[in-house]
Amino acid sequence: MTASRRQILTGALAGALLPAAQAQTSAPARDARPAAPETVRPRRLRPGDTIALVSPANATYEREPLEIAVETLQALGFKVKPGANVRGRYGQFGGTDAQRAADINDAFADDEVAGILALTGGSGCNRIVDKLNYALIRRKPKFFGGFSDLTSLVNAIQKQTGLVTFHCPVAGSEWNEFSLQHFKTVVMDAQPDLLQNPQGERGAHLVQREDRISTLRAGVARGPLIGGNLAVLSSLAGSAFFPDTRGAILFLEEINEYIYRVDRMLSTLRLCGALDQLAGVVLGKFTQCGPGDGNFGTLTLDEVFDDYFLPLNVPVYRGAMIGHIKRKFTVPVGLPAEMDARAGTVRLLSSAVL
């Protein structure tokens, strides 16, 4: 019996749709991502440990800043092992890309070295973020810290290996009592620190004017800490080294950027989906981020932050001691924490080191 034209067409259409339906069913979700590596905590630093001093960003042109950095680490009780290229220079950078990456890789490979700290920030870390030996770092995890341009490296290492890294003073920073106490509590004493701004410092004023907390949206949230310098972090967007922001507490800081540039960087984070599933936001200091010389006015930082963060409906506060400031927290990147936007605090939920 000859099949009718309708039967033939119906059978052909079903046959054509079946592979597509099977492919749609078996294909991974569009936004599926590889599972994050298991969180790894480095060993705590102890007096007598050897710290490798590396220069993955800017060159240090004079001898004295390096001498001060070495003496500072020695005053903390550490032995210091300068990287082979810590005095190097290639343009504004502390050596060629290969040299700067090699110093970090060598420090992770060196069993004598307990931890690695950057001499200074600046620029250049993005140029070497794809040149680190992440397999080696996974095999030999240890303390790694810095801030500013080191945002690239502390987030990339954490993303690629699961190692908790540290957004903290660089060796050349001012190690005042506040910064030193938070560093010791987190990195040396292995305590789950409470990151809270100095309280009650009014000076000659009736109310506290410095280091105030501003709550944009009250609430409490939990999640792993990720973030750092806004310009550097946004420059990683779309790469394999950009942190997984899903369920995370994002902390941000900036310096010397016009407000319209801050707005543009935040738009990059929004457009790449990095803000979509955050648990909360902690804004540090946006130092010398003003309107610039535009003739047509500008949004204020308050307005920019409201535009980007209030629609997220998550806890947000501003003013944390994170950034290009003298007194700063040591923030473990990748470690779960609890933030309270009304109180202006971040509480680490466990020790960041073993």
Sketch the domain layout of the chain as residue ranges: 50-175, 194-348
Q: In whole angstroms, what is the distance from residue 82 CA to residue 117 CA?
A: 10
pLDDT band at 17 (very low <50, low <70, confident <90, very high): very low
The pair of structure tokens assigned to 163 is 């190692």
Q: Which of 261, 257, 253, 233 is nearest to 324 (CA)?
A: 253
Give, in order, the Cα–Cα distances in Å from 124 to each of 84, 265, 288: 18, 18, 22
Residue 92 CA, chain-centre distance (Å), reads 23
Classify the phi-psi angles of 297: left when phi > 0, otherwise alpha if psi is within -120 to 50, otherwise beta.
left
**Arithmetic mean of pLDDT, 256-260:** 96
Q: Is 169 in a helix, a strand, or coil?
A: coil
Q: Report the DSSP beta bridge partners of residue 333.
A: 165
Please name the residues in contact with 265: beta carbons below 8 A apart, sequence gap of 6 or more: 230, 231, 234, 254, 257
Q: Which helix (H) or strand (E) holds 287?
A: strand 280-287
pLDDT value at residue 32:
56
At residue 181, does pLDDT exceed 60?
A: yes
Residues catalogued as catalytic: 148, 253, 324
pLDDT value at residue 3:
46
pLDDT band at 295 (very low <50, low <70, confident <90, very high): low
Give exposure, 272-286, as e/b (b: 16+ Cβ within 10 Å). Answer: eebbeebbbbbbbbb
pLDDT band at 326 (very low <50, low <70, confident <90, very high): very high
Q: What is the pTM (predicted TM-score) of this model?
A: 0.90
Name the average pLDDT for the chain.
92
The pair of structure tokens assigned to 99 is 């040299």
Place of tokens 């034209």: 5
At residue 230, does pLDDT exceed 80?
A: yes
Give, in order, the Cα–Cα distances in Å from 322 to each of 5, 10, 223, 302: 73, 65, 18, 18
Tens digit of each residue's pLDDT (9 = 90 or more) over 130-173: 999 999 999 999 999 999 999 999 999 999 999 999 999 999 99
Q: Which CATH number fits domain 194-348: 3.50.30.60, 3.20.10.10, 3.40.50.1460, 3.40.50.720?
A: 3.50.30.60
Q: In whole angstroms, what is the distance from residue 72 CA to residue 270 CA?
A: 40
Q: Which helix (H) or strand (E) holds 116?
A: strand 115-118
Please name the residues in contact with 130: beta carbons below 8 A apart, sequence gap of 6 or more: 241
* DSSP-derived secondary structure for 125-161: GGGTTTSS-HHHHHHS--EEEE-GGGHHHHHHHHHHH
Query: What's the CATH code, domain 50-175?
Result: 3.40.50.10740
